[in-house]
Structure formats: structure tokens, C-alpha cells
Structure 1
Amino acid sequence: MSTISLCLLKGVAGRLCALRRLLNRPEKIVSTRAKDVEPASFKLINKCRYTVWPGLLSGAGTAQLPTTGFALNSGKSKTINIPRSWSGRIWGRTTCAQDSSGKFSCQTGDCGSGKLECGGSGAIPPATLAEFTLNGAGGLDFYDVSLVDGYNLPMLLIPKKTTNGLCGATGCLIDLNGACPKELKLAARENGQVGIACRSACEAFGQPQFCCSEAYSTPDTCSPSVYSQFFKHACPRAYSYAYDDKTSTYTCANTDYVIMFCPPPYSSQKLLGRRKDGATLPLVNKTMMYISSKHASSASSSGVVPVQLIAGAASIVVAVLLYWPSLLPL
């Protein structure tokens, strides 16, 4: 009886034949496994009118990426492949320069390495952070945009795959530097009046009730402060303090991501969809919209302007005109 005929038999003989045929085709097994471990693609886009220097830091127990820092000119993008098992942070550094001794530093988001590459060092607050745990519990990616360590520039985080209740966009689209409370404002070195970043209350005051530490180290004892509510009002989907999990953590599975610095202004609930818990939080407060400043160090209150939103179809039209064109090259 031929091998093919044997494989057509029912029962044990047929199953053994099928198994032998599978084992004799290792290329099929290899290709399937290779697909399972394909890296995630992270596309970083700079829509700011100034250069941004992204920094990347791997979490504890996760190997540092080959690239931990680079320059991203205005209007440019860069795609990085990241292992599916990765966890860590990505942020943007601003107003960076190299001094006469060759030391590299940035006025916001600096990692203290003295070099373009951060090499395992994280962002010095204040900095807007994109945080990831890929392939976590249940095989899901967990991600968020955090203002817990303060804010330095607008950021939009978008998973390329969208599913109802999952894979939502998140971020902070508002230029908060001009509107930042005086006691939280980080001023430019060359001009003490110009705000270039907004510190968290924890960093500014160091008190346990703002840092969710000591007697305030649990969700029941650490409540939102007037300062964290300032961040939450402007950026409803971003983390505003340590226990802001319910409306700030997002999940997706086996997808790629886009991180956009200084995203174009838009507002549309239809594009954002619903969260898994049913919330329909906008990415931006309905009375505020981001308008890019020409230079990172020239942010002012003009960056945050009240706008009169038009309901219904008009809002969707604005979103289509301003949001989708920015994503066409993805």
C-alpha cells in the first residue's frame, strides 16, 4: 500500500502517517513559529514644528533595545521593531544640544546619559510617557500614556488594529505648558518666564498625598488632587496620578503601534469608539484643542484655546480632514 493510501486510512495508522508527514515538512513548522515571534512595529512620527529626540527604556528584566535614543526632525518618522515580549517606556526629549565638551543634554525628558542614546536610563521628570507591556496577561498588550511624571509635549498613541471595546487610541493632545499652574511650571533655562514643561505635584512638592506613598499608598487612601485633576480635565484618557487605572489603561493583541508627537487637532467620538468598560472618554476635552507652537521653548497660553465644537456630522468631518490624512503614510 502506498504512503498516500496509508494516510487515507482511518484510525491509528492514518493519524501516525499524518504525523510523520508533518514532521517531514519542518519548513512549515518554522514559518509558523517565525510568524508567532515577529516583532511589533512601532512607528514614531514627529508632527511638532521642532526636532524631538525620542528616548526608549526597557523595563526591569527586559533587555535594552538596540536603539535607545535618536533625533527625529520635524515632519519625519522612524519605525522600530520591538520584541513581542518587551515592556518599557517611550518619550520625547525637547530642546536638546551638545556642549563644547561633547556632552548631550535636553531641557525636557533628558535621560542623564550625556549621550544621544539613553543606554538604560529613563526620562528625568517632567515628561509625557508612553508605557507598554507587550504580550502580558492573557496574551494582551497593555499600554497607556502617563502624565504621572509630568508633561512636556503632546502625544498620541494609536494601535494599528482596532476592535470594539479594545485597542483604543490614547494620549494627551493638549499643549499644557502655557496653561500649567505656576507652581508646577518648568521654565526654559534661557528665559525663566517661558514654560517648557509641567511638573507633577509629586515632583513639585514631594508630599505623600501627591506621590501616593506612605499613608497614602493604596487606591483607597490616595485620591486625585486638584493638580492631577488639571491633567485629567485636559487629557481624559491619560494617567493623571498613580491609581488612575480605570480610565487610562488600554489593551490590544498582536498589533503594531504609532506614537505621534504634537498630533494635529481633532475631536470625534466616532473615531475613538468605546472602551471595554463602556466609557466614551474623548482624547481631548471638548472645550480645548492643541495648536502647535513653532518652537518647543516658545509654548505659551496661546497653545490652549477654547473652541466651539459643532455637533454631529460636522465633528466627524473635522476628524476626517485633520486626523486621517496624518495617518495615511502609516
Structure 2
Amino acid sequence: MEAMLRSLLFLSAIFFFFFVSVEVSATTMTLYNKCRHPVWPGIQPGAGKPVLARGGFKLPPNKAYTLRLPAGWSGRVWGRHGCSFDAAGRGKCATGDCGGALFCNGIGGTPPATLAEITLGNDQDFYDVSLVDGYNLAISITPFRGTGKCSYAGCVSDLNTICPVGLQVRSHDNRSVVACKSACSAFNSPRYCCTGSFGSPNSCKPTAYSRIFKTACPKAYSYAYDDPTSIATCTRGSYLVTFCPHH
């Protein structure tokens, strides 16, 4: 009996060591909802990368969900809000909707939506929070367990409260601003979209609209060529993506 007990304890220790080692060495992305309302995260992989967690799920307030990221994975995460789905997963969201489905399955979100973007590399990971497709919820990315600069990225300000009238997306009852369009989406002009003759960093410069975003959220992409102050790097880190980090 004692020998069996010792054997079980030994096996338990081995399994514990194995799982802790895997957990420490694996890259994870934890999605944490600090909002006062539910958020339905959407997850879209980069080309050729696997879909994680069927591309979307419901995350109640003050709950977290951890995903293990495959080596070399890249993709984007955004928060959908004001969603309603039936038992079959069909429905819609007030912001960030992905084809009227609970499980986005690789489909991107309908702008405007704040994006958390990440690309895992062998030597360095790249990550950022982007307002290029507009804003709906505050998002931050905080790395941990990595080496290098591993700086924080995000937009913690509520841009819906300062969104210019021409960019506002209002609720169905018209009582509140639920999202803020990018100037590109609102006006579809090469100057704001960095296309055509404005399709290079030298010709596409900040605009009055992108400066509003940048002033409120200096650690986020405010327009397509806002690279120097917006992209962050870390080596072999794991990442905490927080919705409504200011709450």
C-alpha cells in the first residue's frame, strides 16, 4: 500500500512538473473583460493560421479566458458588444459584428472596432492596438514572462465620449455613441485611407481626425502609417488583452 502511494505521489509530481513546464514555455493570450457589461471577443487569424476558440465566444464581466497560441501564430482580437444570439449562435452585435454569428470562424469584425494585433516570431513578437478601423471599446495588451522591452500597448481612453459628430455611430435609440468610425471609413478619401497618391509614409500624414485619436491614445495606431510610436516588441512573452482596462 505504501509503495503504491509513493508511486502515485511520484507520478503526480511528474505530471505537475510536466504541465507547469508546458504552461511556462507555451505562449498564451489571456482575454480579460473588465467592462461592466459582457463582451463577445472576436478572434481572426492571419492568412494560413489556425482559428482559435472557433473565432468567438461570450465573456461575462470580470471573467478571463486563456488561449494557447501555436508557434508563429498571428491574428487580431476585438471586442463585440451589445450582442444577442439564439441557441444556434445566430444573431447580431451593436459593434464589431462578424456576419451575424457567435463563432466568427475566421471572419473579421465589421468596423468600427478597436483591434489588438499580434504576430509571434522566433526571436521577437510584434503587437499593437489599432484604431485604423475605428474604435468601439478600450483595449490594452500587457506582456508578461517575456524578455526585451516588452512595453504596454493600448487605448484606455473612452473615445466614444470625444468622437467628432461626423465619425459617430449611435445606438438604435440614438441616445448614446456606441462606436467611433475612422476618418477613412467615414469619408472614404485617399487622404484619410492612405491610398492612391497618399499610399506611402511620406505622403500620408496625420490628419485632424487621427490626431484626436492619437492625443487620447498615444500607445495605439491612429492611422495606417503610425508605426514608430505604436508597434511594440517582446521576445517569447505571453499576453494579457484587457477590455475596458480603465474600469
- Fold shared per TM-score above 0.5: yes
Aligned to 2:187: 205
Distance 1:58 1:153 in 2: 20
Q: State the AA in 2 paired with 1:177.
A: N
Q: How does 1:112-261 map to 2 (within 5 A)?
A: 112=99, 114-135=100-121, 139-161=123-145, 163=147, 166-189=149-172, 191-261=173-243
Q: State the AA in 1 paired with 2:91.
A: F
The partner residue of 2:55 within 63, 68, 73 is: 68
2:54 counterpart SS class = coil
1:107 counterpart SS class = coil
Contact 2:147 2:237 in 1 (8 A): no
More moved, 193-202 vs 94-103: 94-103
Normalized per residue, the structure richer in strand is: 2
Contact 1:142 1:251 in 2 (8 A): yes
**CA offset digits 1:69-113 (Å, max 9, x no partner):** 01000111111111121011011000001269962211111111x
2:213 counterpart SS class = helix
Q: State the AA in 1 paired with 2:154.
A: G
Aligned to 2:7: none
Could you tell me how far 1:156 is from its partner in structure 2?
1.2
Aligned to 1:16: none
Distance 2:208 2:25 in 1: 44
TM-score by length of 1: 0.65
Identity of aligned residues (%): 48
Could you tell me how far 1:129 is from its partner in structure 2?
0.4
Structure 2: any 5+ residue segments left out of the alignment? 1-17
Higher Rg: 1
Structure 1: any 5+ residue segments left out of the alignment? 1-30, 265-291, 293-330
Distance 1:57 1:171 in 2: 18
Could you tell me how far 1:38 is from its partner in structure 2?
5.0
Distance 2:168 2:53 in 1: 34
Q: CA RMSD in A?
A: 2.1
Q: State the AA in 1 paired with 2:105.
A: G
Larger RCO, structures 1/2 (Cα 8 Å, 6+ apart):
2
Distance 2:210 2:87 in 1: 39
Distance 1:101 1:69 in 2: 14
Task: Give the aligned length.
Answer: 228
Contact 2:146 2:237 in 1 (8 A): no
Is the aligned partner of 1:54 residue 2:38?
no
